[in-house]
Chains A and B, each alone.
Chain A
Amino acid sequence: MKQKEEELLLKSFDTELSEDEKKELAAVKSNSPAFLEEEAKYLHLRKMVCLTASESFSPDFTDNVLDRIDNLELQFLKQCYPVQFLFSVFRPFAVAAALLIAVLGYYSWYTIDIDKNEGVSESMQTIMDEADLAYVEELL
């Protein structure tokens, strides 16, 4: 087969053949039995090669890719943004601790407030008692 014909054969399954090449191909096909024979062999080879491409990745391939990306992102945070990394790792604990501190804070404030109120009222009572006593003493 001539080099030009071989080139056409190799390109014959190309979706990007130009109009001129399509015409040339049609002309060669109608005039050259050798070309048709070669084309048949090429087709058979192509079919066999395509049949070899039957493997696919495991079913959990996509999940594994996503897991690896998550790990990479954590590593990146750890190296470049340690504070954010710590926050991302300890976020659940940080939230729990913040809530605990808030609850304890409120509780202690509330208790102190009650004590303070009680303290104020007690001291007021004392002042009043003392005032009454002073008044009584004055009267006497």
Chain B
Amino acid sequence: MTDKQLVQAVKNSNKTAFKMIVERYKDQVAHTVYGMLGVTPEAEDIGQEVFIRFYTNLDKFRNDSSIGTYLTRIAINLSLNQIKKNSKKDQLFEQKLPDSLHDTYNRVDYEQIRQVKQAILKLEPRYRLVVVLRLVQGFSTRETAEILKVPQGTVMSWLSRAQKILRENLSDGDKL
């Protein structure tokens, strides 16, 4: 079933169609939420909230944007809210990576990935946004600008700045 057909089916109260949407997009939402927040206790809850907001606001969803873009926009908004809450609490989580990565990569790569993750989470939210959307999710500059509701030039300047900060913050900056 195409996304449009699924949305129509959900509008007709078809829960199975909604389940298919969740299955289809949960990894994309996970990459956005975890990319923005890191591995925090709230991340999964926010992921669920993304799909609940999508379901409850389905009447407002028009098929002129894709489901992926729409869900990412919700995920970004909820993640930014959470970052604000966390900054009030002054929370900082030491980032852990999934155990499966231990098997896939050697110790050096694993440590390097962990450092990159930590460096991304130290970025200002706007720079983190473009890194997650452009580099992790692979959205184009135009799509990223559309999601963030900023001009394309701004997306590029934020990405350039983010890249420079990442290089400065990483211990092996000369490689990056």
Q: CA–CA, A44 to B19, complex, Å?
A: 36
* Residues in chain B near residue A51, CB distance under 8 A: 101, 105, 109, 113, 116
* Contact-size category for A: 20 to 34
Q: CA–CA, A65 to B20, complex, Å?
A: 12
Q: CA–CA, A10 to B22, complex, Å?
A: 32
Q: Are B19 and A62 neighbours in the complex by a CB distance under 8 Å?
A: yes
**Given the known A-B contacts A41-B175, A42-B163, are A64 and B136 also in contact in the complex, defined by CB atoms under 8 Å?**
no
Q: Are A54 and B140 neighbours in the complex by a CB distance under 8 Å?
A: no
- Is A7 at the interface (CB under 8 A from chain B)? yes
| Other-chain contact of B27, A14, A52, A56 (Cβ < 8 Å) | A56
* Residues in chain A near residue B101, CB distance under 8 A: 51, 54
* Contact-size category for B: 35 or more
- Is A2 at the interface (CB under 8 A from chain B)? no
Within 8 A of B (CB), among A18-72: 41-42, 44-46, 48-58, 61-62, 64-66, 68-69, 72
* Residues in chain A near residue B124, CB distance under 8 A: none
Closest chain A residue, CB of each to CB of B101: A54
Q: CA–CA, A10 to B142, complex, Å?
A: 12
- Is A138 at the interface (CB under 8 A from chain B)? no
Q: CA–CA, A22 to B122, complex, Å?
A: 34
Within 8 A of A (CB), among B31-73: 31, 34-35, 39, 43-44, 47-48, 51-52, 55-56
Q: CA–CA, A42 to B141, complex, Å?
A: 16
> Chain A interface mostly helix, strand, loop or mixed?
helix
Q: 1/0 per position for B130-141, CB-CB distance to A under 8 A?
A: 010001100011
Q: Are B26 and A62 neighbours in the complex by a CB distance under 8 Å?
A: yes
- Is A113 at the interface (CB under 8 A from chain B)? no
Q: Are B98 and A45 neighbours in the complex by a CB distance under 8 Å?
A: no
**Given the known A-B contacts A16-B141, A57-B26, are A68 and B136 also in contact in the complex, defined by CB atoms under 8 Å?**
no
Of all A-B residue pairs in the complex, the 6 with the closest CB atoms, nearest first, are A55-B34, A52-B117, A53-B31, A49-B135, A53-B136, A48-B116
- Chain B residues at the A interface, C-beta cutoff of 8 Å: 15, 18-19, 22-23, 26-27, 29-31, 34-35, 39, 43-44, 47-48, 51-52, 55-56, 97-98, 100-101, 105, 109, 112-113, 116-117, 120, 131, 135-136, 140-142, 156, 159-160, 163, 166-167, 175-176
A10-B156, A16-B140, A56-B26 are known; give 16 further A-B pairs, CB within 8 A. Answer: A14-B141, A45-B135, A48-B112, A48-B116, A49-B131, A52-B116, A53-B34, A54-B101, A57-B29, A57-B44, A62-B23, A65-B48, A65-B52, A69-B15, A69-B55, A72-B56
